[in-house]
């Protein structure tokens, strides 16, 4: 099991890796690391995106359990990698920090948080079972988060160039109360890194049917650039 221990003091939040049942007999031990940021989906309750400091990459297959829920909130637990401790439901990046013994391990649930290269793709999701009816996008930059959220539902990225992005406050007001489509997943951080922007999640059927194209075209109508704002293709 992977869980976050949130601290309100200066010690910072932690991510705790508890071995799967039977893991102790194989010599797997509980591990605790300093959490940079962490997100749990409010619908399926899985840890879906987190980053932590570590001296070496941690093999998550020893610890992870995935709760799979449907639209009626029927829940069952899936343990990836029952036959191999190296099979995982997550994408993992581990980057050493220059001049320090520790690195940063960044973790994203493959079928829940789309990476930048997958957003807007014809087949954006990894093979395998989706953990819940929602999928999300995440970025540490609010402008990229807004852009990716709009493209997530099927709005063409080429058309987005014809619009000015709204401010973050305006963007929040556009989707915060639209529970049929999207919602915010707020994370936890630590006193040094702070809490990064939320994950923006959308219903899978909305993404699959690309209903976001018409939805966002109407939402962004007042932000469309005038002809004088658009760059031209002429060389002088």
200, part of any domain: yes
Classified as helix, coil or strand, 207 is helix
pLDDT score at 232: 56
Q: How does residue 230 score in pLDDT terms, banded at 50, 70 and 90?
A: low
212, part of any domain: yes
pLDDT of 149-205, one tens digit each? Answer: 898 888 888 888 899 999 999 998 888 766 656 678 888 887 666 778 899 988 888
18, part of any domain: yes
CA diameter of the chain: 74
Q: Where are the alpha helices (DSSP H) in the chain?
A: 142-152, 157-160, 168-175, 204-208, 212-219
Q: How does residue 236 score in pLDDT terms, banded at 50, 70 and 90?
A: very low
164, part of any domain: yes
pLDDT score at 48: 93
Name the residue among 231, 181, 171 with its Cα closest to residue 201: 181
Buried b (16+ CB within 10 A) or exposed e, 154-172: bbeeeebeebebbeeeebb
pLDDT score at 183: 79
Domain that holds residue 171: 2-226
37, part of any domain: yes
CA distances for 140 relative to 61, 114, 194, angstroms = 26, 14, 11
* Alpha-carbon span 3 to 22, nearest angstrom: 18
Classified as helix, coil or strand, 57 is coil
In total, how many domains does the chain have?
1
Backbone angle region of 45, left / alpha / beta, with phi > 0 → left and psi within -120 to 50 → alpha: left
Q: Rounded to the nearest 5°, which phi and psi values hold at 151?
A: -70, -30
Highest mean pLDDT, choosing among 22-26, 34-38, 87-91, 208-212:
34-38
Whole-angstrom Cα Rg for the chain: 20
pLDDT score at 180: 58
The rounded Cα 103 to chain-centroid distance in angstroms is 20
Q: Across residues 16-27, what is the average pLDDT?
A: 83
99, part of any domain: yes
100, part of any domain: yes
Q: Rounded to the nearest 5°, which phi and psi values hold at 48?
A: -110, -20
pLDDT of 119-154, one tens digit each? Answer: 777 666 776 667 888 889 999 899 999 999 898 888
* Alpha-carbon span 20 to 234, nearest angstrom: 62
231, part of any domain: no
């Amino acid at each position: 099991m992977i869980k976050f221990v949130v601290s309100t003091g200066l010690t910072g939040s932690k991510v705790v890796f508890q071995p799967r049942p039977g893991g102790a007999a194989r010599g797997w031990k509980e591990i605790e690391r300093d959490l940079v940021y962490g997100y749990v989906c409010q619908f399926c309750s899985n840890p879906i995106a987190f980053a932590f400091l570590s001296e070496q990459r941690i093999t998550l297959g020893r610890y992870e359990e995935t709760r799979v829920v449907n639209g009626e909130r029927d829940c069952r637990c899936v343990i990836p990698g029952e036959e191999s401790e190296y099979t995982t439901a997550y994408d993992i990046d581990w980057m050493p920090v220059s001049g320090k013994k520790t690195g940063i391990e960044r973790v994203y649930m493959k079928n829940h948080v789309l990476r930048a290269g997958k957003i807007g793709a014809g087949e954006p999701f990894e093979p395998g079972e989706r953990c819940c009816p929602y999928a999300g996008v995440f970025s540490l930059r609010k402008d990229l988060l807004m852009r990716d959220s709009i493209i997530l539902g099927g709005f063409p990225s080429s058309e987005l160039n014809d619009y000015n992005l709204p401010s973050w406050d305006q963007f929040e007001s556009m989707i915060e109360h639209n529970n049929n489509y999207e919602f915010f997943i707020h994370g936890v951080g630590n006193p040094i890194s702070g809490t990064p922007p939320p994950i923006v999640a959308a219903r899978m059927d909305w993404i699959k049917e690309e209903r976001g194209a018409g939805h966002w075209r109407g939402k962004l109508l007042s932000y469309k650039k005038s002809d004088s704002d658009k760059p031209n293709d002429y060389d002088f």
